[in-house]
């Protein structure tokens, strides 16, 4: 089952994991050391992030290193940019309307 990106980033722990691995790839054990939770709990968060494509796994010997998937986040950011443009247009129109109401021409 593919996870929803919104569900994935809604959780503060998963956002913190993304922030950690954006700086450098980490193993689940290394991530677990950064949080006050078990490795199994961190693994559940990793699974959600991996399933929605925000992180990718790379095997190195017996270890698995998780990397931040900037391409997936860019897709998300592009989608947000479209919404942001729409919001800005609507807010600009509202500003003009409010300005006209506040300062009517005589």
Give the highest mean pLDDT range of 15-19, 76-80, 102-106. Answer: 15-19
Phi and psi at 53, nearest 5°, equal 85, 10
The count of domains in the chain is 2
**Could you read off the pLDDT of 20-34 as tens digits, one per residue?**
999 999 999 999 999
- More confident call, 8 vs 104: 8
64 and 80 share one domain? no
3-state secondary structure of 20: helix
pLDDT tens for residues 46-85?
A: 999 999 999 999 999 999 999 999 898 888 888 888 888 8
Cβ 10 vs Cβ 48: under 8 Å: no
Task: Assess whether 52 and 76 both reside in one domain.
Answer: no
Do 25 and 76 belong together in one domain?
A: no
Do 21 and 46 belong together in one domain?
yes
CA distance 43 to 47: 6
């Amino acid at each position: 089952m593919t996870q929803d990106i919104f569900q994935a980033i809604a959780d503060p722990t998963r956002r913190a994991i993304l922030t950690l691995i954006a700086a450098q790839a980490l193993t689940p054990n290394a991530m677990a050391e950064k949080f006050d939770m078990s490795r199994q709990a961190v693994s559940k968060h990793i699974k959600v992030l991996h399933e929605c494509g925000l992180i990718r796994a790379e095997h190195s010997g017996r270890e698995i290193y998780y990397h931040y998937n900037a391409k997936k986040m860019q897709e998300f950011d592009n989608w947000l940019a479209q919404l942001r443009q729409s919001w800005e247009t609507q807010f600009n129109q509202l500003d003009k309307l409010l300005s006209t109401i506040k300062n009517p021409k005589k």
